[in-house]
Structure 1
Amino acid sequence: MYSSSEPSEQPPPSDGQPSLASLQSQYAVGISASAMMSTHKWSSGLCDCCSDVSICCLICWCPCIPFGQIAEIVDKGNTSCDVHGALYTVILLLTGCQWIYSFMYRSKMRQQYMLSEEPCNDCLVHCCCERCAICQEYRELQHRGFDMSLGWHGNMERQNQGIVMPPFAHTEMKR
């Protein structure tokens, strides 16, 4: 009835329970999907603000500067720190809802580094604890080796200093 080269498909059991083969295949798919979607923990907690008092104070009194630095690095240098900081400040002064702008960068950073969404979703973290969230994001990027004062391009130059480039030769030689 069945050829030996083709696997036979078993009909589902009559009692409505899944078969052992279907459970095994679902389990295997679940493992590979969960392995691909695995998230990492943040290097510090949301309320660990006082672990770096100078950054904590800067974020407390002038959050536009560290936010701009974070956003520039998360954006990979597409927009400067100054632009992000200025836009953050304008939104803060006009609406008081700057957290709507800043939470988007937390989400983007979490996706880039596969960080877990904790203690709750990004929008709520920035709405309720914005300065703590910015402080945590700043510490996370520092933990990942970024010098926040250099910006994206400065960090890329620093990273590439070990690579020696051959000298540029002009196509036309003159004596």
Structure 2
Amino acid sequence: MSYAPQAPMMVQSGGNRNAKNLPVTAEGREWSNGLCSCCDEPGTCFVACCCPCITYGKVKQRYDHLQSHGTAHPDPGCVSGDCFLHCVTAYCGVAFIFQMLNRGSIRGRYNIKGGGCGDLCTACCCTPCELVQESRELELEEQSLGHQKH
């Protein structure tokens, strides 16, 4: 029996995960934008302050799409299941758990220094800044794929 050669399966891995070429050590690298530089992105910062569930939902959708497809999400909606989940759990006072888990996933994708304790503290104490920082990290990879912000 003879088999014809097949092209190797190509899996898209995403874009540049260190777009600012930050130094990487054995522990990883720093975030591309500081936690306190959230005001550099006033629109996202405003939404994250007033309605963090929307920002969380968009960040989660964009992250999941990059993970599964290797491409930027074409249009993350304002209201999603993740947004609703965040809203309900925020009402119960435990939304920080989902934020902490998502932050850890993002750190893992981009090889960013840190750990669960820091993720927990950031999610509990600096929600808007944390969400903007994560959004901006994803945005750098999306831009490297040629996706322009709307």
Sort the TM-score into its range (normalised by shorter chain): 0.5 to 0.7
Structure 1 runs of 4+ aligned residues shifted over 6 Å read: none
The CA RMSD over aligned residues, in Å, is 2.8
Q: Rate the CA distance shift 1:38–1:117 in 2: closer, same or farther, 3 A.
A: closer
Between the two proteins, the alignment pairs up a number of residues equal to 114
Matched, 1:66 2:55: yes
Tell me the equivalent position of 2:37: 48
Tell me the equivalent position of 2:122: 125
Partner of residue 143 from structure 1, selected from 134, 137, 140: 140
Q: What is the deviation of 1:124?
A: 1.2
Q: Which has the higher contact order (CA 8 A, sep 6+)?
A: 2
Where 2:65 maps in the other structure, the secondary structure is coil
Q: Which runs of 5+ in 1 are unaligned?
A: 1-34, 148-154, 159-175
Name the aligned partner's letter for residue 108 of structure 1. Answer: S
Identity across matched positions, percent: 29
Matched, 1:87 2:85: yes
Where 2:35 maps in the other structure, the secondary structure is coil
The alignment's TM-score, normalised by the length of structure 2, stands at: 0.65
The alignment's TM-score, normalised by the length of structure 1, stands at: 0.57
The answer to whether the 8 A contact 2:38-2:45 is kept is: yes
> Which structure is larger by alpha-carbon Rg, 1 or 2?
1
Q: Rate the CA distance shift 1:36–1:50 in 2: closer, same or farther, 3 A.
A: closer
Q: Which runs of 5+ in 2 are unaligned?
A: 1-23, 69-75
Name the aligned partner's letter for residue 122 of structure 1. Answer: D
- For residues 53 and 40 of structure 2, the distance between their equivalents in structure 1, rounded to whole angstroms, comes to 20
- For residues 37 and 76 of structure 1, the distance between their equivalents in structure 2, rounded to whole angstroms, comes to 27
Q: What is the deviation of 1:60?
A: 0.8
